[in-house]
Amino acid sequence: MPFASAESGGFNFIGPSSTGKTTGALVATSVMSNKKYMQNWRATSNGLEAIAAQYNHALLPLDEIAQADAKSIGEMVYMLANSRGKMRMGKTGTLRNTYEWQNIFLSTGEKDLATYMNEGGTKIKGGHMVRCLDIPSDAGVGFGLFENLHGAPTADAFSTSLQTATQTYYGTAFPAFIAALLDNEFGKIRETLELGIKKFQAKVTPTGAISGEVSRAIHRFALVAAAGEIATALLITGWNKGEAFDAAKKCADSEGCRSAFRTDVDHHSEVMPISVPN
């Protein structure tokens, strides 16, 4: 993220139990470490500040958003995305050091953010939705989160094999990625990243006027897509060229994200409603 001067923000895989949400989060977590690296939403706002700071410039996986306090989940989402904790006074009357961070958080939950906030008696705003984008854990082919079972007899069997693999092979991709970035010229990497981000934005940005928050949400997807393509070019992922881009675009085109883009614009009177392309 320092390469791109990107803001913090999150994605929230949503869907019924046993659709692959946690497995997907574990696979993402394995890039960094094993399952002990994964955190959950069962924390106070103060505790989550400290956790976010510990995960500075890295992925912050947060399992089961239902474990969060429904009354304060909206505030916690804003805090995570704003990259800064609360300002507090010390015993002597001086300001304490404030936690700061820069990361992308990946959440899972059975319901979308709006539902959890409504259950807590809080009305959701467009700003919440674009800071924590809901992505359905249904690829639309009958396998839940998965598009391809790669020879496994069932989605459940494939999910189990992935979970086993994440606890056997983990914590190598991210260090290798950082080492490869450091071995290359900074200016060249940054230029490649910026070109990838612009390419993605051109593909998914809705027609018409959009708010700054929607633009930043699309930038988050673009950053993931461009970084994935760079990792592929550096022989980190083992994927084919274009796979990271296409995967990020499918998520950005999902109904949950398109709804967030529309809802955010509806909360900005200075911006006209947009037509979001399929």
Whether the predicted pLDDT of 277 surpasses 60: no
Q: Is residue 3 in some structural domain?
A: no
What is the pLDDT at residue 260? 72
Residues with Cβ within 8 Å of residue 39, at least 6 apart in sequence: 51, 55, 60, 61, 62, 63
Q: Is residue 73 in some structural domain?
A: yes
Domain region containing 233 = 9-86+98-266
- Mean pLDDT of the chain, nearest integer: 86
Nearest to 8 by CA among 103, 75, 133, 84: 103
Q: Is residue 24 in some structural domain?
A: yes
Tokens of 30: 């394995």
What is the pLDDT at residue 2? 61
Beta-strand relationship, 104-109 and 132-136: unpaired
CB neighbourhood size of 192 (10 A): 16
pLDDT band at 193 (very low <50, low <70, confident <90, very high): very high
The predicted model gives 194-204 an average pLDDT of 92
Question: How many domains, the chain?
Answer: 1
Q: Give SS3 for 147.
A: coil
Q: Is residue 272 in some structural domain?
A: no
Three-point CA angle 57, 59, 61, nearest 5°: 145
Q: Which long-range contacts (CB under 8 A, 24 or more apart) does 40-47 make?
A: 40/64, 40/67, 41/65, 41/66, 41/67, 41/68, 41/73, 41/76, 41/107, 42/67, 42/68, 43/68, 45/72, 45/75, 45/76, 45/79, 45/86, 46/85, 46/86
Q: Is residue 2 in some structural domain?
A: no
Phi-psi region of 27 (alpha: psi -120 to 50; beta: other; left: phi over 0): alpha
pLDDT digits over 110-137, tens only?
998 989 999 989 888 878 888 999 999 9
Q: Is residue 91 in some structural domain?
A: no
